[in-house]
């Protein structure tokens, strides 16, 4: 078994803490260790460090190496430019297959929170065991507990089998982030799961799926393969990777393939997509405010506040996100959390790159 950790995200919706040089996955959003370090630590009892591959942005190479000193240096693969998840996964699959032609690989984002780590590992073990049986593409579906509009959904069909006491279901279709009415319909129907963006499959199986559904990307990956075969991977990545098709694995493969299975998961998952998600993570006061730092909330309710630089006082305000950092202050309504990334576009337009 191999694990591929995708650590190339920008974390724009966690601005102003998350920045270009230090994005969300490299920050200690929850706990003392970074999200990336927590992701690696979560799987170290399942496989040795030499079987953990991290794909990250070239600009973050030094920090990733510093945070993950326990991994072999050659296991940290640096993208010269981001090319979405299909290219990232395709490159990693080539590397895994080169080491073991029959290997199963788990694909995990670097910035997810998981509270029941034992159940998470048990779920992964079952998925890996199922993937070894045949070249299915397995996705982890999170049991929906609320009508969440910030996640994509997986529509599950009939159960096809059980492995290690975990059921596996045929996937009918994937659905984009819904509006509130549709999300409530999904929740009521009962066979819709949140799309976690975590996958398990044979390295050869995902490459074969790419050859069928993303032939252009697959052809370019084969050009990259020749560099890997000669031990010149860094040169090949720098030359070829920037020209790879930029498309997500969901759009490019999962929504088109007919051999997709889902394993239901219920291990306390949160993708920590926005500051608003911290309302589910940080402890609440008696007015349902969630705060980190020295905060005083007077006659104020349901606010999300981060301020470690100075005392932050709220008086008579509700449903706000307040994030104070050394050089920037963010104040916005909670319902605008998904739009925080748009601030960066305005910052670029105004030539204020120092705040990116």
DSSP 184-212: HHHHHHS-EEEEEEEEEEEHHHHHHHHHH
The confidence score (pLDDT) of residue 13 equals 93
| Among the listed residues 306, 348, 336, 349, the one whose alpha carbon sits nearest the alpha carbon of residue 324 | 306
The confidence score (pLDDT) of residue 309 equals 87
- 103 vs 202: CA distance, rounded Å: 6
Q: Rounded to two decimals, what is the model's pTM?
A: 0.94
Pairing between β-strand 260-265 and β-strand 290-298 as defined by DSSP bridges: unpaired
Cβ neighbours of 227 (radius 10 Å): 18
- 216 vs 213: CA distance, rounded Å: 9
Residue 138 pLDDT greater than 90, yes or no: yes
The confidence score (pLDDT) of residue 303 equals 98
In the chain the domains, ranked by start, together with CATH numbers, are 2-270 (3.90.550.10), 275-355 (no CATH)
Cis omega (within 30 of 0) on the bond before 170? Answer: no
pLDDT per position as a tens digit, 4-30:
999 998 889 999 999 999 999 999 998
Please report, rounded to a whole number, the percentage of residues in the chain having pLDDT higher than 90. Answer: 93
Query: Mean pLDDT score of the chain, rounded to an integer?
Result: 95
The confidence score (pLDDT) of residue 279 equals 93
The confidence score (pLDDT) of residue 226 equals 86
Pairing between β-strand 290-298 and β-strand 304-315 as defined by DSSP bridges: parallel
- 313 vs 48: CA distance, rounded Å: 47
Under the banding of pLDDT at 50, 70 and 90, the label for residue 230 is: confident
pLDDT per position as a tens digit, 240-277:
999 999 999 999 999 999 999 999 999 999 988 899 99
39 to 6, 17, 200: CA distances (angstroms): 10, 20, 16
Under the banding of pLDDT at 50, 70 and 90, the label for residue 286 is: very high
- 123 close to 102: Cβ distance less than 8 angstroms: no
């Amino acid at each position: 078994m191999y694990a591929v950790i995708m650590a190339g995200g920008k974390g724009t919706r966690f601005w102003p803490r998350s920045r270009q040089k230090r994005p969300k996955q490299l920050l200690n959003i929850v706990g003392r260790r970074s999200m990336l370090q927590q992701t690696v630590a979560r799987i170290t009892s399942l496989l040795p460090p030499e079987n953990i591959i991290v794909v990250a942005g070239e600009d973050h190479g030094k920090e990733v190496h510093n945070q993950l000193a326990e991994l072999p240096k050659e296991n940290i693969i640096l993208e010269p430019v981001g090319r979405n998840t299909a290219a990232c996964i395709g490159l990693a699959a080539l590397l895994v297959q080169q080491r073991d032609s029959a290997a199963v690989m788990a694909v995990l984002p670097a910035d997810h929170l998981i509270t029941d780590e034992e159940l998470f590992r048990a779920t992964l073990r079952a998925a890996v065991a199922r993937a070894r049986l045949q070249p299915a593409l397995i996705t982890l579906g999170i049991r929906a507990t609320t009508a969440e509009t910030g996640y994509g959904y997986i529509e599950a069909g009939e159960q096809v089998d059980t492995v290690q006491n975990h059921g596996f279901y045929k996937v009918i279709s994937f659905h984009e982030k819904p509006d509130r009415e549709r999300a409530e319909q999904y929740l009521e129907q009962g066979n819709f799961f949140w799309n976690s963006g975590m996958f398990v499959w044979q390295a050869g199986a995902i490459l074969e799926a790419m050859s069928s559904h993303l032939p252009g990307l697959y052809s370019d990956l084969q050009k990259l393969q020749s560099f890997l075969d000669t031990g010149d991977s860094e040169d090949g990545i720098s030359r070829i990777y920037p020209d790879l098709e930029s498309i997500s694995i969901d759009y490019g493969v999962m929504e088109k393939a007919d051999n997709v299975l889902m394993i239901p998961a219920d291990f306390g998952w949160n993708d920590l997509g926005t500051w608003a998600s911290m309302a589910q993570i940080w402890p609440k006061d008696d007015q349902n405010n969630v705060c980190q730092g020295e905060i005083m909330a007077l006659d104020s309710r349901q606010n999300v506040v981060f301020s470690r630089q100075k005392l932050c006082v709220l008086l008579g305000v509700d449903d706000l996100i307040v994030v104070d950092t050394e050089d920037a202050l963010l104040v916005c309504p909670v319902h605008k959390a998904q739009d925080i990334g748009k601030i960066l576009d305005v910052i670029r337009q105004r030539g204020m790159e120092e705040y990116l």
